[in-house]
Amino acid sequence: MERGERILEAAGELLVAWGYRRVTIDEIARRAQVGKGTVYLHWKTKDALFLAVVLQAKLRSHRAQTARMRVDPLEVLPSRMMSGVYRDFLADPVLRAVYSADTDVLGRFNDIAKKELAELAAYGDQVVRRQLEVLREHGLVRADMDVVQQQYALLATASGFFLTEALLHDRAPHAAEERAHILAHTLRGALETSADPRSGTGTEPAAARTRAAAEAAASEIIPLYERLEELSEQEMRRQLRH
């Protein structure tokens, strides 16, 4: 394992275990079996290192997401996509901390990351907006609402599931799988046209038509996320020295 990867891993582990405030470069170096100076041979500053930790987590999630879309085009549907993102979120403690803005873990790094990654987040917004437009063109997303409003609905609803995760881990439905399903169901009802649960039986031809439309849409949407991956990688490289 590369020195850089070891440092990144150590930083991530310590971040979720101790919280940003308590983690020192000395401790990261010790855990990664390198000298303190070596950390600065790789990253510009402590914040840059933690930014890289966050970007790596997001990048992993983005890659998993595009992989799912390539395997099954229906994954471009908002309900399916967010369900996947939610599962990634639950599985990765770094993502959990970042998406739920966990102050105990992130401390003031919360604001730093938000500010530093604002540009990337803005591009992410653009991608989602374009995705909704494409899906709408293919009849997979309803047109009963402005796209910007739909995007807000998507963001706010998903945020609710992400944030209540931390807040209500007691009286919330137990299995993570179950909550991912509820999220998907909610978004499908709110935004999509396909597999309307209200019409009782889904007919076979309708399902086939939906799949065809999703395949067409996916060919437009996947490149958007590939570009987002590239920008994330670029941003991650920008945190390095030179």
Partner DNA sequence: CTCATGACCAGATTTCGAAATTGGTCACGA
Partner DNA sequence: TCGTGACCAATTTCGAAATCTGGTCATGAG
Please measure the distance between the N-terminal and C-terminal CA atoms of the chain and give it in whole angstroms.
22
Residue 178 structure tokens: 């179950």
Q: How many CB atoms lie within 10 A of CB 215?
A: 14
Nearer to its own copies, 1 or 199 (CB): 199
If 0-12 CB within 10 Å is exposed, 13-18 middle and 19+ buried, where does residue 115 land?
Answer: exposed
Question: Considering beta carbons, is residue 153 or 231 the nearer one to its own copies?
Answer: 153
**Which of 69, 77, 217, 78 has its CA nearest to residue 134?**
217
Residues that bind DNA (CB under 7 A): 3, 21, 23-26, 34-38, 40-41, 45-47
User: In angstroms, rounded to a whole number, what is the distance separating the alpha carbons of residues 143 and 163?
Assistant: 28
Give the nearer residue to its own copies in terms of CB position, either 160 or 223.
160
185 is a contact residue toward its own copies (CB under 8 A): yes
Distance CA 229, CA 73 (A): 18
Q: Which of 22, 36, 142, 241 binds its own copies (CB under 8 A)?
A: 142
Q: Are 74 and 137 in contact (CB under 8 A)?
A: no
Which of its own copies, DNA, none does residue 110 bind to, with CB < 5 to 8 Å depending on kind?
A: none
The residues in 153-182 that bind its own copies, with binding defined as CB under 8 A, are 153, 155-161, 163-164, 167-168, 171-173, 178-179, 182
**Residues at the site binding its own copies, with contacts judged by CB under 8 A:** 101, 103, 125, 142, 144-145, 148-149, 152-153, 155-161, 163-164, 167-168, 171-173, 178-179, 182-183, 185-187, 189-191, 193, 196-198
